Amino acid sequence: MQRRAFIKNAAAGAAGVAAAAIAAPAVAEGRLEWRMVTTWPKSFPGLGTGAELLAQFITRASDGRLSVKVYGGGELVPPFEALDAVANGTVEMGHGSPYYWKGKIPAVQFLTTFPFGLLADEQNAWYQFGDGQKLADEIYKQIGCKFFPSGNSGPQMGGWFNKEINSLEDFRGLKMRIPGLGGEVVKAAGGNVVNLPGSEIPTALQSGAIDAVEWVGPYNDLAFGLYKNAKYYYWPGWHEPGSTLDNFINLAAWEKLPADLKAIVEQANAAVNQIVLSEFNARNGSSLQILLKEHNVQLKRFPDSVLTGLGKLSGEVLNDLAGKDPLSRTLMNSLLKFRAEQMPWTAIGESGFAQARALPYPFAEPSAG
């Protein structure tokens, strides 16, 4: 699907927002019809399609006893109002990413990721074998929702820039779209952070409303055509090393489900959580090559001095937030403890192997046939 088709689909449905009321879900012969609103453009690769896959899994596994219909951002409600629509019972289910809801509970940002934090597999491990799921449930219960990790974009890119970043000073005055805690760090560096839903990013970059943008990575950035309006593509994604997506369900609706349907929703989310990450891993490599070879994108690494400066600012931002909010302190302590436990193993396991794999030795080549 072409870029303009994504944006057209994402913008479609403004009339739906103006509707006086949204019809209640049909309930007949023990069958439920739920609606899922998302923050993503309709059918957008990896993100929108992940939400649609979740709906398909639930509908099929329940043999239609619980069917889920998906609406892209803006079709029923604006993207950043998805959580409100679920919490107040207008719809039953939503899909987005926790840091979009920081206006509700600041601590929720930690549930997506945090700068210089956990890689995607580490983040999933924290949810499954650390405190993640328990803490997330406590937080979302305050909002009136049930939480599930429902996808992960893996390590992201550092973003698209219209000027080179050679020092922290280059962030000063920069108008950048970057959400979550990473955005707070860019603010601390003197940048002007602009929060936009995905569907509005290409136009904002093209018009000059923003100077730089962090979206996801090669797979999604290629689909949005961001290379057309920004010259430099920076790595690594210091701000989002492994970003969790969330499936949030109206708590009253969740509690009314029988045990077998709850189990289906749980397992569907577990499957989608892994599949979405696998899709990003599979597609980012080929998409990066297209950006480099077909679109002549200039790939640049942030200098170490910039990364260490951003790391220092990140610590200050996190400590400041934790100092003002006990719940943020609880999440940060849990994540930092898990991070400290994981770093030595990741360094010799995954990072060590990646370095060994990249050494200059002859190796088998894929055959032409």
Closest Cα to residue 214, out of 189, 239, 251? Answer: 239
Is the pLDDT at 341 greater than 50? The verdict is yes
Length of the chain: 369
Summarised one tens digit per residue, pLDDT across range 102-123 is: 999 999 999 999 999 999 999 9
- Res 30: pLDDT: 81
Residues in contact with 282: Cβ distance below 8 Å, sequence separation at least 6, in sequence order: none
Residues in contact with 172: Cβ distance below 8 Å, sequence separation at least 6, in sequence order: 189, 190, 191
The CA angle 108-110-111, to the nearest 5 degrees, is: 70
CA pseudo-torsion sign 316, 322, 328, 330: positive
Q: What is the mean pLDDT of residues 161-170?
A: 97
Summarised one tens digit per residue, pLDDT across range 273-304 is: 999 999 999 999 999 999 999 999 999 999 99
Is the pLDDT at 369 greater than 90? The verdict is no
- Res 12: pLDDT: 41
- Mean confidence (pLDDT) of the chain: 93
Comparing 12-21, 60-69, 81-90, 323-332, which segment has the lowest mean pLDDT?
A: 12-21
Where are any strands of DSSP class E within the chain?
27-28, 31-38, 66-71, 93-96, 145-152, 159-161, 175-177, 192-193, 212-213, 232-235, 244-250, 298-301
pLDDT exceeding 70 applies to what percent of the chain? 92
Output DSSP code: residue 92: S
- Res 29: pLDDT: 65
Closest Cα to residue 234, out of 320, 185, 307? Answer: 307
- Res 15: pLDDT: 35
Q: What is the mean pLDDT of residues 26-47?
A: 88
pLDDT band (50, 70, 90) for residue 75: very high
Q: What is the mean pLDDT of residues 316-323?
A: 97
Is the pLDDT at 18 greater than 60? The verdict is no
Residues in contact with 360: Cβ distance below 8 Å, sequence separation at least 6, in sequence order: none
pLDDT exceeding 90 applies to what percent of the chain? 90
> Are the C-beta atoms of 205 and 187 separated by less than 8 Å?
no
Closest Cα to residue 248, out of 141, 112, 148, 105? Answer: 148
Is the pLDDT at 11 greater than 60? The verdict is no
The region, left, alpha or beta by phi > 0 then psi within -120 to 50, assigned to residue 45 is beta
- Res 368: pLDDT: 80
Output DSSP code: residue 194: -
Is the pLDDT at 16 greater than 60? The verdict is no
- Res 174: pLDDT: 97
- Res 25: pLDDT: 52
pLDDT band (50, 70, 90) for residue 34: very high
Output DSSP code: residue 12: T
Is the pLDDT at 62 greater than 70? The verdict is yes
Output DSSP code: residue 250: E
Is the pLDDT at 266 greater than 70? The verdict is yes
Burial 190-205 (b: 16+ CB within 10 A, else e): ebebbebbbbbbbebb
Residues in contact with 333: Cβ distance below 8 Å, sequence separation at least 6, in sequence order: 322
- Res 14: pLDDT: 37
Summarised one tens digit per residue, pLDDT across range 169-215 is: 999 999 999 999 999 999 999 999 998 998 899 999 999 999 999 99
